[in-house]
Amino acid sequence: MILTDLTLAQAREGLRAKKFSARALTEAHLAAIEKLNPRLHAFITVTPELALAQADAADRAYAEGEAGSLTGLPLAIKDLFCTEGVRTTAASHILGNFIPPYESTVTAKLKDAGAVFLGKTNLDEFAMGSSNMTSAFGAVENPWKRRGDDTPLVPGGSSGGSAAAVAARLALGATGTDTGGSIRQPASFCGITGIKPTYGRCSRYGIIAFASSLDQAGPMARTVEDCAILLGAMAGFDPKDSTSAERAVPDFAAACRRDIKGLRIGVPKEYAVPGMPDEIAALWQRGRDWLRAAGAELVEISLPHTRYALATYYIVAPAECSSNLARYDGVRFGRREDGADLIEMYERTRAAGFGDEVKRRIMIGTYVLSAGYYDAYYLRAQKVRSLILGDFTNAFAGCDAILTPTAPSAAFAQGEKMDDPVTMYLNDVFTVPASLAGLPAISLPAGCDRAGLPLGLQVIGKPFDEETVFAVAAKIEAMAGFSASPTLHAGSSA
Ligand code: GLN
């Protein structure tokens, strides 16, 4: 048995049945990381001592019959979650070697459930990007390759390190964060599953902020059920986050087994964007056919403001980023450059500490919030955001969930789309609307393109109805029977 090939649910079964120890499971993943991380750069920091100590504690818990829902299961944590005593970088030089004195709520919940933390995964700097090319710690490589072609591809972003780690079997699951698609798009590019829950479902406390009204944590794993198990442990009300929702956490894993007969699945006509590659259009059609065969009713819906979503997002997100990132001034923590006076110290610190994409967004955000432009850009974007939410509210009067492609392309090559930021932003065309509306949305692998690269489908749900999202996604997963695995993974000789 190759331990790194197990799903999270299978690994849990194996631990409960004492077929192998948590230590053996953790060691197998650490060995896989040692072998493949030098190539993939999926992890910025690996924490073997911590992981083995947690694994030993897990073995004791199993021996004493005190195991929790995730006891002994090795996970990777996006390096945007503050982890007490473990360096947290946001993939930026400005944080230097910041070691948080506290734990984020989501990672604290995972620890309480017994999870083993293998290390911190790479991302686009401050989670701004769709390719992982903007990390100050070097780009992540996608473990998938085009057939017969060795060109390094991007894993997507910003949770690209988490996606690559899970796809390459370096971890059973991972945390991600999604502001405009950062869980779903890398999941699609790496052939794994990832869900952005409803805004407010998971606490943002201790997650380094990018755009606070959009940021949400969520799980990434190799199956829908594994995501459901992880989300069950991550979610829940937190008094430390004022936007956290006071809602009970349902049994998401049970929802994966729900019947979808009679459910109404909306297909938004505006998502059939001009220039959509025929393979993606065909995958979307197959998704509809599978759901119809499973007894769902397919209905055409209209989300008329979809075409304004990207423009709206790229005003709201930079505006909030410019405000959130003002705290990196070299005074309280992180990197500091010397200057003749305070202002020069600020300027030098921020000039040296931030990368180009982050600077671009701070400048755009500062501009759209400035006196004279606030009404024309920021306020207007907020109004359009309400219209986009209104579109979904209207659509959900006539359907239970919405089916779309996750991304307009398969993984692209490293270095591609880097010359023009707008080309990069177009990646988010299908993921950003659900973010602006705060809705739960999952991406799961449903097929491959002609070059053998994975393609994802997205299921969007009503607010706090992750259960229907999981039910529909599990049905697509069963019907798609996606079984391809990446070129580089822990079991291969590469
Ligand atoms: N790609 C989007 C961006 O660059 C989304 C990032 C995210 O969700 N964190 O902003």
Task: Tell me the pLDDT tens digit for each residue of 62-85.
Answer: 999 999 999 999 999 999 999 999
User: How many CA atoms are closer than 13 Å to the CA of 449, on its beta-carbon side?
Assistant: 25
Whether 317 is in the pocket of ligand 1, judged by its Cβ within 6 Å, is: yes
CA of 491 to the centre of ligand 1 (A): 31
CA of 268 to the centre of ligand 1 (A): 22
User: Quick check: helix, strand or coil at residue 55?
Assistant: helix
Determine contact, residues 101/92, Cβ cutoff 8 Å.
Answer: no
Task: Return the residue matching tokens 């008094």.
Answer: 239
Whether 181 is in the pocket of ligand 1, judged by its Cβ within 6 Å, is: yes
pLDDT of 493 > 70? The answer is no
Residue whose CA lies nearest to ligand 1 atom number 4? 129
Distance of CA 442 to the CA centre of its chain: 10
3-state secondary structure 314-340: HHHHHHHHHHHHHHCCCCCCCCCCCCC
- Share above pLDDT 70 across residues of the chain, in percent, rounded to a whole number: 99
Whether 238 is in the pocket of ligand 1, judged by its Cβ within 6 Å, is: no
At a CB cut-off of 8 Å and minimum separation 6, what does 186 contact? 132, 155, 156, 157, 158, 159, 160, 162, 163, 164, 176, 194, 220
User: Quick check: helix, strand or coil at residue 21?
Assistant: coil
Q: Which of 182, 220, 364, 424 to mutate to test the pocket of ligand 1 (most atoms within 8 A of CB)?
A: 182
Q: How confident is the model at residue 275 (pLDDT cuts 50, 70, 90)?
A: confident
Q: How confident is the model at residue 431 (pLDDT cuts 50, 70, 90)?
A: very high
Residue in 271, 297, 295, 294 with CA at minimum distance from that of residue 283 = 271
First and final CA of the chain: distance in angstroms?
Answer: 19
Ligand 1, closest atom to CA 181?
Answer: 8
At a CB cut-off of 8 Å and minimum separation 6, what does 338 contact? 345, 348
CA of 63 to the centre of ligand 1 (A): 43
Model pLDDT, residue 492 = 54
Task: Tell me the pLDDT tens digit for each residue of 291-333.
Answer: 999 999 999 999 999 999 999 999 999 999 999 999 999 998 8
Token pair for residue 323?
């405000």
- Integer Cα distance of 60 and 78 in angstroms: 27
- Integer Cα distance of 428 and 28 in angstroms: 35
Residue of 130, 158, 322, 443 marked catalytic: 158
Whether the bond into 158 is cis, omega within 30 of 0: yes
Model pTM score:
0.98
- Is position 244 annotated as part of the catalytic site? no
CA of 374 to the centre of ligand 1 (A): 22
- Is position 120 annotated as part of the catalytic site? no
Task: Tell me the pLDDT tens digit for each residue of 145-191.
Answer: 999 999 999 999 999 999 999 999 999 999 999 999 999 999 999 99
User: Angle, nearest 10°, between helix axes 8-16 and 224-234?
Assistant: 70
Beta bridge partners of 193: 221
Residue of 182, 203, 409, 485 marked catalytic: 182
- Per DSSP, helices labelled H in 118-178 are 160-167
- Is position 182 annotated as part of the catalytic site? yes
- Per DSSP, helices labelled H in 147-223 are 160-167, 184-190
Residue whose CA lies nearest to ligand 1 atom number 10? 128
